[in-house]
Amino acid sequence: MARPKICILFAGGTIGMVKNPKTGVLQPATEASEIIREIPDIQKFVQLDLKMVVNIDSSNMNPSHWTEIAKSIHTHYDKYDGFVVVQGTDTMAYTASALSFALQNLSKPVVFTGSLIPLSEIGADGRNNLIYACLTATLDIAEVCIVFANKILRGNRAKKHHESFVDVFHSPNYPYLGELGRPTALFEWRKKRRKRVLKFKPNFDQKISVLKLFPGFDPYIIERAIERDAHGIIIEGFGPGNIPFIENSLVAQIENAIDHHIPVVIATQMEKGITNLHAYEGGFNALKAGAISSHDMTTEATIAKLMWTLAQTRKVSEIKDIIEKDIAGELSL
């Protein structure tokens, strides 16, 4: 039987880094294609091709890289049974979210992975992650996911929540899609392979502001975002999406933004749970001022979705409809 064909798109991260002997900091190695030599065993089961996108720390990635990765998958879509994207963990949840909007209706998996410890160091997790990511790319799953520390997570539900332990991702508002081990288990709620027509919308408008509230937050910060011509604003509110409405009230500035045709999305600072703008006066005042609710999306998914939506329309009412709808499994209705 022919081995499944998997395409690895390499976009950098710790997995391809080495320590600079002078400064002691991790930086991208020159020869990233080496990573494929680290996993000879898996090549008995799959045919691997490697395509270089970029070799950088993922903190240097921006939406133009998301578009580049999406375009590359789109170009080679019919040639492979699945795709693996290797990048750094710092912004992996953003890229995975972005790709879930750029490539909808997938009939095969797009699997993100990387590592916390470089391949050359003791305790390296990259080899295991890469092998399992390639294996997952052959399985009956058809969505953008992250494979890390033997778990399969929905990409637009994942959050990096740990900096020093190899199990760096969790999925606070959605169960894992599968577990990799003995045996490998895929759960019923994953999207499964079947022939679907791919919807390809790879553009993002990065001109947004993301504001995290804190007690004493100056409403002028929102006015500054409006003055600098933000195309959209996300406010991480308190609890279920509450904002101050007595002293330092944000209500007038939310109205000001809407008057300038700038959508304002209220997200929550809590990892687990859901925005509810009907729960308290704080949220309700934001709602009455015209704010949109991020529901149970992660902030990473909310950011990618707002950028993606703004690349298609600048009409606040249309943006509200898209943000509050489930596009790629990022939001529970």
Q: Minimum Å distance from CB 23 to ligand ASP? A: 15
Residue 219: name the closest of 245, 240, 239 by CA: 245
Q: Minimum Å distance from CB 97 to ligand ASP? A: 15
Among 4, 63, 82, 88, binds ligand ASP (CB under 6 A): 88
Total residues at the site for ligand ASP (CB under 6 A)? 11
Of 103-122, binders to ligand ASP (CB under 6 A) are: 114, 116
Give dist(CA 282, CA 51) in Å, integer: 49
75 is catalytic: no
Q: Which residue has the tokens 């294609």?
A: 33
Token pair belonging to 228:
């600098």
Instruction: Specify whether the CB–CB gap between 119 and 29 falls below 8 A.
Output: no
Catalytic residue among 57, 80, 81, 90: 90
Catalytic residue among 108, 151, 159, 160: 160
Q: CB under 6 A: which stretch of 82-90, 102-110, 218-226, 228-236 binds ligand ASP?
A: 82-90
Token pair belonging to 327:
């596009």
Please compute Rg for the chain using Cα positions: 21
90 is catalytic: yes
Q: Decide: is 81 part of the binding site for ligand ASP (CB under 6 A).
A: no
The residues near 255 (Cβ < 8 Å, ≥ 6 apart) are: 289, 290
14 is catalytic: yes
Among 55, 72, 89, 129, binds ligand ASP (CB under 6 A): 89
Catalytic residue among 57, 80, 81, 89: 89
Of 18-77, binders to ligand ASP (CB under 6 A) are: 57-59
298 is catalytic: no
Among 13, 232, 263, 283, binds ligand ASP (CB under 6 A): 13
Is the Cβ of residue 16 or residue 232 nearer to ligand ASP in the bound state? 16
Q: Which residue has the tokens 């019923």?
A: 188
Among 7, 35, 90, 305, binds ligand ASP (CB under 6 A): 90
Catalytic residue among 201, 280, 288, 320: 280
280 is catalytic: yes
Instruction: Specify whether the CB–CB gap between 142 and 192 falls below 8 A.
Output: yes
Instruction: Specify whether the CB–CB gap between 326 and 100 falls below 8 A.
Output: no
Is the Cβ of residue 28 or residue 283 nearer to ligand ASP in the bound state? 28
Residue 83 φ then ψ, to 5°: -125, 145
Residue 14: name the closest of 96, 130, 137, 107 by CA: 130
Q: Decide: is 14 part of the binding site for ligand ASP (CB under 6 A).
A: yes
Q: Minimum Å distance from CB 61 to ligand ASP? A: 8
Instruction: Specify whether the CB–CB gap between 237 and 254 falls below 8 A.
Output: no
Token pair belonging to 20:
């600079």
Query: Is the peptide bond preceding residue 244 cis, with omega within 30 degrees of 0?
Result: no
Q: Minimum Å distance from CB 14 to ligand ASP? A: 3
Q: Minimum Å distance from CB 143 to ligand ASP? A: 22
Q: CB under 6 A: which stretch of 87-95, 186-194, 227-235, 251-259 binds ligand ASP?
A: 87-95
Residue 103: name the closest of 147, 66, 132 by CA: 66
Is 195 exposed, middle or buried (CB count within 10 Å of its CB: 0-12, 13-18, 19+)?
A: exposed
Q: Is 327 left (phi over 0), alpha (psi -120 to 50) or beta?
A: alpha
Positions annotated as catalytic residues are: 14, 89-90, 160, 280
Q: Which residues bind ligand ASP (CB under 6 A)?
A: 12-14, 57-59, 88-90, 114, 116
